[in-house]
Amino acid sequence: MASTSDIKNGLCIHFNHAPFQIIEFLHVKPGKGPAFVRTKMRNLETGRVLDNTFPSGTKIEVIRVENRTYQFLYNDPSGFHFMNMDDFNQITIAKELINAPQFLKEGMECNVLFHADEDRPMTCELPAKVALEITYTEPGIKGDTATNTLKPATVEGGAEVRVPLFISEGEKIVVDTATGDYRERFKG
């Protein structure tokens, strides 16, 4: 058992009969009354975010977790299939457990968070930025870089991203997986 003084970002705990991961926390010591810890937690089974306040010194149950690198293979109606790069074992992960499934592409390496005691996947995190090719967009206009106007573009995998007017079909761009926003042209 741990206490609220052990809370940090990324810590996984068992709370209300479900696994949660701490996204943010703030230790508050008011001038009057006892101290407390305000947290924002993500339910690892449903993906929902919950705000909760723990009184200072409260005991919490920490879950042992492991991060493993898996390669995305394909998806079908049963889920998204990944392969462990070390022992070539394959696992299937539900769409709800993946942070940005629309940006997955074949061969991409992802970080899978496992419950160490039960050896089951809890979440799948894509890299922070991914390079994707644009499969369809309206024709680009050369020299139109002065305005901050965006147009829709479809990237490989079928996701839609808003890109600047000068980007054209066939180019590779860098997309932020957390927000789904265009970052820059791919240099490589």
The whole-angstrom separation of Cα 42 and Cα 98 is 13
Do residues 68 and 114 lie in contact, with contact meaning Cβ atoms separated by under 8 Å? yes
The amino acid that residue 48 corresponds to is R
Give the tens place of pLDDT for each residue, 118-130. 888 888 888 999 9
Among the CATH numbers 2.30.30.30, 2.40.50.100, 2.40.50.140, 3.30.420.40, which is that of 2-62?
2.30.30.30
Indicate the pTM of the whole model: 0.76
Structurally, at CATH architecture level, domain 129-185 sits in: Beta Barrel (2.40)
- Per-domain boundaries in the chain: 2-62, 65-125, 129-185
> 101-159, pLDDT tens digit by residue?
899 888 899 999 888 888 888 888 889 999 999 999 888 666 666 667 888 999 988 88
